[in-house]
Amino acid sequence: SVVAEDGSAAAIRQPEIWWQRALDDLSTAHEAAGGEEHAQVLYLRMLAWREGTDQFRQGNFGACKCLFSQSPEYKSAEDVSWLLQSLKPEDAHSVPRVVGILALGEENAAKAAVALWTLALRPQHRPLITECGGTELLAKAVAHYSDNAELQAAACGALRLLCMGHRLAKRNRQLLVSSLGGPQLLTTALRSHPTDPEVQREACGALRLLAAKEPQGAVRILDHGGLRLCLVALAECPEDEAV
């Protein structure tokens, strides 16, 4: 990431804004030439390539490989929607494609997060989701789309499942604590959606795993006010036993 001299949030996000504008201009040019469908496909592929490049620079090679390999598969926006709508819990073969869709904008990311939560309900799918970069891309979606309650609930729920019950669960917990800002992301979700029981339930569940099994995770959760937020969740959602 690029940090400006003044350190402001707007300045830090400026390269991302420039990239988005370039994508918009390119797709608009294709639409103006009568190639609207081609513009949509190009837009999706470039989003995937851009995120793949970012993940490569961060050393997340599983996510990078998934994004680069899936990019040529995008033939139309309808294909993406159809895949997510037709997904079944047993569809392990769809995991790489669903993980890749997390990089294709907020609307697609929200649907992909729900799909990954569904797939992760089966413990045998969790290692594959992890190996495809699901942990990294779910965490990034939580960070980028903090106002989207549907995405926050589903992504926090998927992260919770990825942190338990399979051979790579410890790796995911450590990654969330050490590199992905998991305690901060999860406590921010709790703050942003105080009256949404699904967000509260899933974020609290993920925090519990990080606190109970990763000592450094417990410290960072306390640093971000996680204990108070979990107590508030218990008070605000008394009817939800899972919280």
Using pLDDT thresholds of 50, 70 and 90, give the confidence band for residue 8: very low
pLDDT at 111 over 80: yes
- Residue 206 burial (CB < 10 Å; 0-12/13-18/19+)? buried
State the average pLDDT over residues 174-182. Answer: 95
State the average pLDDT over residues 223-243. Answer: 75
pTM over 0.75: yes
pLDDT at 86 over 90: no
> What pLDDT shows up at residue 173?
96
Q: What's the token pair of residue 38? A: 């081609």
Cα dihedral 47, 53, 54, 59 in deg (nearest 10) = 140
3-state class percentages of the chain: helix first, strand second, coil last, to nearest 5: 75, 0, 25
> What pLDDT shows up at residue 84?
83
Nearest to 51 by CA among 40, 42, 64, 41: 64
State the average pLDDT over residues 124-137. Answer: 97
CA 134, distance to chain mean position in Å, is 7
> What pLDDT shows up at residue 6?
43
> The dihedral of CA 78, 84, 90, 91: what is its sign?
positive
> What pLDDT shows up at residue 25?
67
Q: What's the token pair of residue 211? A: 């606190």
Residue keyed to tokens 């967000």: 199
How many Å apart are CA 101 and CA 70, to the nearest integer?
Answer: 9
Query: 10 Å Cβ neighbour count for 198?
Result: 19
State the average pLDDT over residues 63-77. Answer: 84
> What pLDDT shows up at residue 30?
55
Q: How far, CA to CA in Å, does 106 sit from each of 5, 148, 154, 166?
A: 29, 8, 13, 29
H or E stretch including 17? helix 14-32
Cα end-to-end span (Å), the chain: 35
| pLDDT tens-place string over residues 24-56 | 666 666 566 556 677 778 888 888 888 899 899
Q: Identify each DSSP E strand in the chain by its residue range.
A: none
Using pLDDT thresholds of 50, 70 and 90, give the confidence band for residue 211: very high
Average pLDDT over the chain, rounded to whole? Answer: 85
State the average pLDDT over residues 130-153. Answer: 96
